[in-house]
């Protein structure tokens, strides 16, 4: 077993300990469910587009069982618009598999407070060449960022950041409808789109209300 400089158990050792606890504990308790999922395949009703942030794990947040969620994670929980160019479309491929392969009934975009990708988009450092791919990825939020700056010029930085984080959810929901197989299933009633936002520090979970155009906290 290795330790980091502070004397604590290293990250990998913690994972191995967790795996052993899972193998000998919760796996055994869930064995019939897992064996069933292996035998008949996965049939989740919900797909979640979530952020890669290590603090926001949908399975933990929603206390989901194996087989409940098909999770797609990337920086800032973004869905790009449908495009034909290029070759590698990880998020689009996962969405395609969820909708066409698994026939999920619900497709959720889960945004969150304190998102590092959103912070980078809001305050880019032109002189920092550390990141090559992240700035381009979050640039799909540029229009939403401009709207926030135009309509919330007197608001605090924290309020504008929260608005951008929530707007990221709306941009992704809008981009989902550029995929014809998403749009067709929404129109037929076979698929429902959801926009959720969680403040991980409280925690408080909100859902986007299509009629009011606002995020409403769950009771």
Could you report the per-residue pLDDT of 86-112, keeping only the tens digit for each? Answer: 788 999 999 999 999 999 999 999 999
* CA distances in angstroms from 185 to 65, 130, 138, 167, 182, listed in the order given: 26, 41, 27, 24, 5
The candidate with the shortest Cα–Cα distance to 166, out of 211, 94, 115, 218, is 115
For residues 122-129, average pLDDT: 84
d(CA 205, CA 199): 7
pLDDT at 85: 82
For 106-168, the DSSP string reads EEEEEEESS-HHHHHHHS--TT--S-SSHHHHHGGGHHHHHHHHHH-TTS-HHHHHHHHHHHH
Q: Residue 2: is its pLDDT beyond 60?
A: no
Q: How confident is the model at residue 4 (pLDDT cuts 50, 70, 90)?
A: low
Q: Can you tell me the mean pLDDT for 21-31?
A: 95
* pLDDT tens track for 181-218: 999 999 999 999 999 999 999 999 999 999 999 999 99
**β-pairing, 46-51 with 106-112?**
parallel
Domains of the chain: residue spans and CATH? 1-41 (no CATH), 42-217 (3.40.1050.10)
């Amino acid at each position: 077993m290795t330790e980091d400089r502070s004397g604590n158990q290293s990250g990998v050792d913690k994972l191995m300990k967790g795996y052993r606890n899972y193998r000998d504990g919760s796996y055994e308790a869930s064995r019939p469910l897992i064996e069933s999922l292996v035998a008949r395949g996965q049939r989740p009703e919900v797909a979640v587009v979530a952020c890669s942030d290590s603090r926001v794990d949908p399975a933990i947040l929603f206390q989901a069982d194996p087989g409940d969620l098909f999770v797609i994670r990337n920086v800032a929980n973004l869905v790009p618009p449908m495009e034909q160019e290029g070759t590698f479309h990880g998020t689009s491929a996962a969405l395609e598999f969820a909708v066409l392969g698994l026939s999920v009934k619900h497709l959720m975009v889960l945004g969150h407070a304190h998102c590092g990708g959103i912070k980078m988009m809001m305050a880019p450092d032109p002189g920092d060449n550390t990141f090559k791919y992240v700035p381009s990825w979050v640039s799909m939020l540029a229009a939403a960022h401009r709207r926030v700056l135009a309509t919330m010029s007197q608001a605090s930085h924290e309020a504008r950041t929260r608005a951008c984080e929530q707007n990221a959810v709306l941009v992704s929901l809008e981009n989902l409808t550029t995929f014809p197989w998403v749009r067709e299933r929404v129109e037929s009633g076979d698929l429902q789109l959801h926009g959720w936002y969680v403040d991980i520090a409280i925690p408080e979970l909100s859902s986007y209300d299509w009629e009011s155009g606002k995020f409403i906290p769950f009771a």
